[in-house]
């Protein structure tokens, strides 16, 4: 009998074509799938392939009596009740490491954007072009990266990929958290405490793997230890930064600016953030490249193939 697979969101055509070996049902809604929609669709399926936005709760898992695997498309898996899945003997997989280059590229893009005011300049040219009177010595000044200190919270794979790129811009690298001594030598990166990192950095970027203990790592207290000329970058997980504290820090000049790809209450983006000129906002596109999303789909399918064939998954989260 052909295995039954439920796909909980729109995937790339190449990924969908590779699923034709199974009996596939796909969620067609325009909004992210809800818990109730999942429960209705997974009663008899053997596999679920889902994006990070799919709430694979205990109720969903309990309703899927034949389920053998949940294959998450994404490195994270906090949308899945992993403990319940483990209790029920359901494999849970993710797509680790594949996002490294894309996320590092976006991070550098965000740093350049907020430091050199690229998006703000674009808005000026489109919305108020009359403000541009021609080149002038004091007009629309930004900040150079060369010679500045980049503080990386979490020098794992993505953090290291960011360090490599930032070093090419002439930035000095300091880091806290994960401590890969040998890798850090490539960029003469200095290991420091988080408190020292926040005090010394001209740019702070977060790349620590998320856990509940990191919620509001950047809050009113920690933001106040940063330089008033510093920029904060978050392309990791939204809850690491307390949104209300960040808004206040940006409004009152506690820090110079921020560039944010992920949000505390995602998919909701705080209206106050959108009103600020010293913040760059992108809609969680850290790994949103054709190359990365294609590979993520391939990895998810490989995990499903393995489990349905009675083998161990390739990328188990437990």
The residues assigned a catalytic role are 237, 266, 284
Which segments of the chain does DSSP mark as H helices, in order? 13-17, 35-41, 58-63, 82-88, 100-116, 118-127, 157-168, 181-185, 194-200, 220-223, 243-252, 271-275, 290-308
Helix pair angle (157-168, 100-116), 10° resolution = 50
- Taking the C-alpha atoms of residue 55 and residue 33, their distance in angstroms, rounded to an integer, is 8
- Alpha carbons within 13 angstroms on the beta-carbon side of residue 139 total 9
Burial of 143 (0-12, 13-18, 19+ CB in 10 A): middle
- Taking the C-alpha atoms of residue 11 and residue 64, their distance in angstroms, rounded to an integer, is 22
Contacts of 275 (CB under 8 A, 6+ apart): none
């Amino acid at each position: 009998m052909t295995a039954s697979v439920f796909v909980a969101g729109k995937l790339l055509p190449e990924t969908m074509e590779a699923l034709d070996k199974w009996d596939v049902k796909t969620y067609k809604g325009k909004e992210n799938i809800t818990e109730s929609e999942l429960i209705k669709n997974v009663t008899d399926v053997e596999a679920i392939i889902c994006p990070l936005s799919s709430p694979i709760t205990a109720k969903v898992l309990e309703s899927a009596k034949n389920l053998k695997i949940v294959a998450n498309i994404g490195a994270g898996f906090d949308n899945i009740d992993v403990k319940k899945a483990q209790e029920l003997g359901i494999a849970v997989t993710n797509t680790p490491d594949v996002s490294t280059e894309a996320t590092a590229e976006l991070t550098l893009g965000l740093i350049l954007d907020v430091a050199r005011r690229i998006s703000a300049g674009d808005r000026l040219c489109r919305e108020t072009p009359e403000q541009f009177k021609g080149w002038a010595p004091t007009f629309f000044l930004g900040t150079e990266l060369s010679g500045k200190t980049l503080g990386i919270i979490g020098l794992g794979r993505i953090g290291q990929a960011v360090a490599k790129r930032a070093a090419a811009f002439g930035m000095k690298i300091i880091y806290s958290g994960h401590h890969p001594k040998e890798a850090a030598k490539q960029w003469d990166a200095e290991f420091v405490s988080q408190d020292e990192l926040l005090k010394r950095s001209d740019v702070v970027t977060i790349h620590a793997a998320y856990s509940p203990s990191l919620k509001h790592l950047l809050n009113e207290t920690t933001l106040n230890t940063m330089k008033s000329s510093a920029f904060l970058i978050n392309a990791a997980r939204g809850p690491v930064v307390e949104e209300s504290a960040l808004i206040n820090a940006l409004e009152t000049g506690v820090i110079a600016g921020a560039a944010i790809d992920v949000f505390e209450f995602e998919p909701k983006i705080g209206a106050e953030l959108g009103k600020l000129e010293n913040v760059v906002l992108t809609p969680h596109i850290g790994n949103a490249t054709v190359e990365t999303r294609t590979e993520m789909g391939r990895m998810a399918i490989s995990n499903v193939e393995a489990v349905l064939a009675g083998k161990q998954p390739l990328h188990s989260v437990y």
